């Protein structure tokens, strides 16, 4: 019945949306037309009700902040082990071995989460900060000296693709495979459409590179990857499990940070008062990043599967059915945020859902925050004025939002 995340045409599971008192939306969030105007799609999903049905894919979507937060926290009813994308991986084989963190539930999830929380502890992040800041200062100085540049590539992409692989201990040779692999990972969470098939083609041999870099012998001494393998030596996890945890850095630790920085840069460039505030006080760089994440969630969706019959907003969700949480929509829910469409550094961003929440909240969020803070604070210290020039070009993906081009002009201090 379920094929590539969609129901067979004309089939409804356990009754139609109408019979259950829910709205059904005739839209495809993953079409190029929708991706070109994703805020309109987010609004349509959010304002249609607490939960809505998309017949084309046979899944439920929710874009209301309160509902999304509730689904996140009720991990016993809404499980992750059936996959966090459109496909129920308990019914259909996944394109790769499921993640020990994303596609897992307690008690198994708890063990691996504990390991990664230790690997990425506050102490570790503090230890890395000095080197990360030095790299950020040098990169910003080099880029802004040109006056005009593509901020999407030259800053937001170049920086994380340098510091994170270095910290993990990834070989310098072959790093060009990281983005194509991560792009495939995120596209595979959506439908098997043209975007997915293009990502498969562009990934090429990236899977082989990642499979090698997951191995103990491929990782540089002293890096986070070898730290993970230390837990094998202590008998806490298996050798294969360590490789799977290293893979988390290679598949989920790059794109979301890149696109989050992009949105922060765009927000700062479009809002002179925000840039003036950051320029006057570079210590608020983290706030600039957090508001960028709230303003535009880089990874706008995450899925769960009903482990048992459940009620969401008075609508029955049957066991086995997919619920996709629209994080971008929830982060702009006017029931939760005032003037949600405005990038505003005076806003209290606590509670935004770009990193998820609850036991499955992003385990690397402290690292992402540190990376962005280093880069944005370096920019604030070195740059006087900032503006966008020309049209920004969107990056089209089933499960990511960002830019391929973000043309920018700056003047230095």
Q: How far is residue 177's CA from residue 250's CA, in Å, rounded to a whole number?
A: 10
Q: Tokens at residue 16, please?
A: 């139609």
Q: Tokens at residue 286, please?
A: 């983290």
For residues 237 and 231, the answer to whether their CB atoms sit within 8 Å is yes
Q: Is 34 exposed, middle or buried (0-12, 13-18, 19+ CB in 10 A)?
A: middle
Q: What is the pLDDT of residues 112-125, one digit of tens each?
A: 999 999 999 999 99
Q: How far is residue 239's CA from residue 232's CA, in Å, rounded to a whole number?
A: 6
For residues 288 and 349, the answer to whether their CB atoms sit within 8 Å is no
For residues 374 and 352, the answer to whether their CB atoms sit within 8 Å is no
pLDDT score at 11: 35
- Please state the φ and ψ torsions of residue 174, each to the nearest 5 degrees: 100, 5
Contacts (Cβ under 8 Å, ≥6 apart) of 187: 195, 196, 199, 397, 398, 399
Q: Tokens at residue 284, please?
A: 């608020």
Q: Tokens at residue 341, please?
A: 């469409």
pLDDT score at 3: 38
Mapping DSSP to helix (H, G, I), strand (E, B) and coil, where does residue 52 land? Answer: strand
Q: How far is residue 339's CA from residue 181's CA, in Å, rounded to a whole number?
A: 36
Q: Residue 253 is inside which H or E element, if any?
A: none
Q: For 178, what's the count of Cα atoms within 13 Å in the CB-facing half-sphere? A: 29
Q: How far is residue 134's CA from residue 137's CA, in Å, rounded to a whole number?
A: 5
Specify which residues 59 forms β-bridges with: 54
- Do strands 310-312 and 315-317 pair parallel, antiparallel, or not at all (unpaired)? antiparallel
Number of helices (H), then strands (E), belonging to the chain: the values are 17, 15
Ranges of each domain in the chain: 2-412
Our measurement of the distance from residue 56's CA atom to the centroid of its chain's CA atoms, rounded to an integer in Å, reads 24
Our measurement of the distance from residue 323's CA atom to the centroid of its chain's CA atoms, rounded to an integer in Å, reads 17
Q: How far is residue 410's CA from residue 386's CA, in Å, rounded to a whole number?
A: 5
Contacts (Cβ under 8 Å, ≥6 apart) of 352: 290, 293, 294, 297, 331
Average pLDDT, the chain: 94
Which residues does the chain have with pLDDT short of 50? 1-14
Distances (CA, A) of 288 to 229, 295, 378, 409: 35, 10, 13, 19
For residues 25 and 44, the answer to whether their CB atoms sit within 8 Å is yes
What length does the chain have? 413
Fold classification of 2-412 is Cytochrome p450 (1.10.630)
pLDDT score at 15: 54
Our measurement of the distance from residue 284's CA atom to the centroid of its chain's CA atoms, rounded to an integer in Å, reads 22
For residues 293 and 354, the answer to whether their CB atoms sit within 8 Å is yes
- Do strands 23-24 and 52-54 pair parallel, antiparallel, or not at all (unpaired)? parallel
* DSSP label of 193: S
Nearest of 3, 1, 7 to residue 54 by alpha carbon: 7
Cα angle, residue 280 at apex, residues 274 and 283 outer, rounded to 5°: 90
Q: Residue 202 is inside which H or E element, if any?
A: helix 194-203
């Amino acid at each position: 019945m379920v094929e590539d995340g969609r129901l067979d045409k004309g089939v409804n599971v356990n009754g139609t949306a109408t019979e259950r008192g829910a709205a059904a939306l005739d839209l495809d969030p993953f079409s190029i037309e929708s991706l070109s105007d994703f805020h309109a799609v987010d609004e349509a999903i959010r304002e249609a009700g607490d939960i809505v049905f998309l017949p084309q894919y046979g899944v439920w979507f929710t874009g209301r902040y309160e509902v999304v937060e509730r689904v996140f926290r009720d991990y016993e009813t809404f499980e992750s082990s059936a996959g966090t994308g459109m496909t129920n991986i308990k019914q259909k084989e996944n394109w790769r071995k499921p993640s020990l963190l994303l596609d897992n539930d307690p008690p198994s999830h708890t063990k691996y989460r504990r390991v990664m929380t230790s690997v990425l502890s506050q102490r570790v992040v503090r230890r890395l900060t000095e080197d990360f800041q030095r790299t950020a200062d040098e990169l910003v100085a080099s880029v802004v000296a040109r006056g005009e540049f593509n901020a999407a590539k030259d800053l937001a992409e170049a920086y994380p693709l340098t510091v994170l692989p270095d910290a993990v201990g990834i070989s310098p040779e072959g790093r060009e495979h990281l983005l194509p692999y991560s792009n495939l990972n995120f596209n595979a969470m959506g439908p098997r459409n043209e975007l997915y098939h293009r990502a498969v083609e562009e990934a090429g041999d990236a899977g082989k590179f990642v499979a090698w870099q997951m191995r103990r012998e491929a990782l540089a001494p002293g890096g986070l990857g070898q730290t993970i393998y230390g837990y094998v030596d202590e008998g806490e996890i298996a050798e294969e499990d360590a490789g799977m945890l290293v893979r988390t850095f290679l598949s989920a630790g790059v794109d979301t940070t890149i696109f989050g920085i992009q949105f922060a840069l765009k927000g700062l460039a479009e809002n002179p008062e925000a840039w003036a505030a950051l320029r006057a006080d570079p210590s608020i760089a983290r706030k600039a990043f957090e508001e960028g994440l709230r303003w535009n969630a880089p990874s706008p969706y995450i899925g769960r599967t009903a482990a048992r019959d459940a009620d969401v907003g008075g609508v029955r969700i049957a066991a086995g059915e997919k619920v996709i949480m629209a994080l971008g929509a929830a982060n702009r829910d006017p029931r939760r945020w005032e003037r949600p469409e405005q990038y505003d550094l005076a806003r209290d961003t606590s509670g935004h859902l770009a990193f998820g929440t609850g036991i499955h909240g992003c385990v690397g969020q402290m690292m992402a925050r540190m990376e962005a803070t280093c880069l944005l604070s370096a920019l604030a210290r070195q740059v006087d004025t900032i503006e966008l020039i020309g049209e920004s070009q969107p990056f089209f993906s089933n499960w990511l939002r960002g830019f391929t081009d973000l043309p920018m002009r700056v003047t230095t201090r």
